[in-house]
Amino acid sequence: MQIKVTARHFDLTDSLNSYANSEIKRLKKYFDHIIDAQLTMSIEKSRQIADLSVKVYGTTLTSKAKTYDMYLAIEQVVSKMETQIKRYKAKLKDKKNARREPPKKRQVSMTDESGETEY
């Protein structure tokens, strides 16, 4: 998994960068097939905004968090992404199980108590 951290309108410190990388690496335990993760942090007036885009096979998942603390924004955006990844993984599992199930057979003819055949 490649991780790219970008800061807009402020200088990215080493501690913030390492914290963001460690939080994003936590996503690996929920889904192994993450291709790319991109975190963009920005400051608008007093709000700290974190955008996270995760590229997985077939789609891109995004989440966004706004708070007054950047560390808290990173934590919130990663937790939102965790729920999205869990949902995506469940959807893939449902599709996989649906393909494995044989088609349901239906009865063509039925006989009632009088011995007549109904269709």
pTM: 0.77
Report pLDDT for 39. 97
Query: Could you tell me if residue 105 is inside a domain?
Result: no
pLDDT of residue 115 exceeding 70, the answer is no
pLDDT of residue 13 exceeding 70, the answer is yes
Query: Could you tell me if residue 118 is inside a domain?
Result: no
Query: Could you tell me if residue 104 is inside a domain?
Result: no
Query: Could you tell me if residue 48 is inside a domain?
Result: yes
Number of compact structural domains in the chain = 1
The enclosing domain of 24 has a CATH number of 3.30.160.100
Reported confidence tier of residue 108, pLDDT bands at 50, 70, 90: low
Query: Could you tell me if residue 110 is inside a domain?
Result: no
Reported confidence tier of residue 94, pLDDT bands at 50, 70, 90: confident
Do the beta carbons of residue 37 and residue 54 sit within 8 Å? yes
Q: Which range marks the domain in which residue 59 is found?
A: 2-97
Query: Could you tell me if residue 117 is inside a domain?
Result: no
37-74 residue pLDDT tens: 999 999 999 999 999 999 998 899 999 999 999 999 99
3-state secondary structure 58-109: CEEEEEEEEECCHHHHHHHHHHHHHHHHHHHHHHHHHHHHHHHCCCCCCCCC
